[in-house]
Amino acid sequence: MSLRGIILDLDGVIVDTVPAHYAAWQRLFAEEGYHFDEQVYHDKVDGRRREDGVRGVMQNADAERIHAAAERKDSYFIDLINQGGFQVFESSVTFMKICRAAGIRLATASSSKNVRYILEKVGIIDMFSAVVGGDDVEHGKPDPRIFLTAAARIHLDAKSCLVIEDASSGVQAAKAGGFFCLGIDRTNRPWRLSGADMIVRDLSEVDPQELIQIFERDARR
């Protein structure tokens, strides 16, 4: 089986919006009276849709309060993004350009409903044959549907695609969908991504041609 498509998460893989997300979550949960730290972030909200993240922390809140809190978190996040609270991982953009030149189709699949807005703001949305956001699927990560939807939109099946993720919920979703998964560990906590087939610190460490060979070798097992 040859590698024909790559599906990338957005936050933490293509763009560094993690500080903005963290600050927005921190502000929200402080207002709501809930404890929040890095452990809670990684265990409860990282890689998940907003309402799922709120629900994971505010477990006793009713549906109306959860929805309102999720909307408020989004407004805090967008304010930070509009203030320039993010950066692009140039190594990821270089990696994607090499893959496109090799004829590999690219898609992005993010739990965020803001995925298109951010890609347009960065100016790289045209690099993708498909863009799937949290509003395109009924269930968020770790459910695999978001990656299966992205694969379908680039007319490929899971066995022909690689998923690149930086969150444990995303790795779980990729593996549940039958995808080969490359994990990116930017926090020196590789055990969070223990389910991934490969783990690197940055896509600058990955030679796309070597990756193609590794993918094909694994697919033959």
Name all domains of the chain by residue range, CATH numbers in brackets. 5-16+87-219 (3.40.50.1000), 18-82 (1.10.150)
Tokens matching residue 19: 């500080």
What's the predicted TM-score (pTM) here?
0.84
Residue 33, helix vs strand vs coil: coil
Half-sphere exposure of 48 (CA within 13 A, CB side): 21
Q: Residue 124 — very low, low, confident or very high, per pLDDT cuts 50/70/90?
A: very high
SS3 label, residue 130: strand
pLDDT value of position 32: 95
pLDDT band at 185 (very low <50, low <70, confident <90, very high): very high
- Residue 173 pLDDT: 96
Please, which residues bridge with residue 182 across strands? 164, 198
Q: How many Cβ atoms are within 10 Å of 170's Cβ, its own excluded? A: 33
Could you please report the per-residue DSSP string of 156-215? --GGGEEEEESSHHHHHHHHHTT-EEEEE-SSS-GGGGTTSSEEES-GGG--HHHHHHHH
Structure tokens at 124: 């790289």
Q: What does the DSSP 8-state code read for residue 8?
A: E
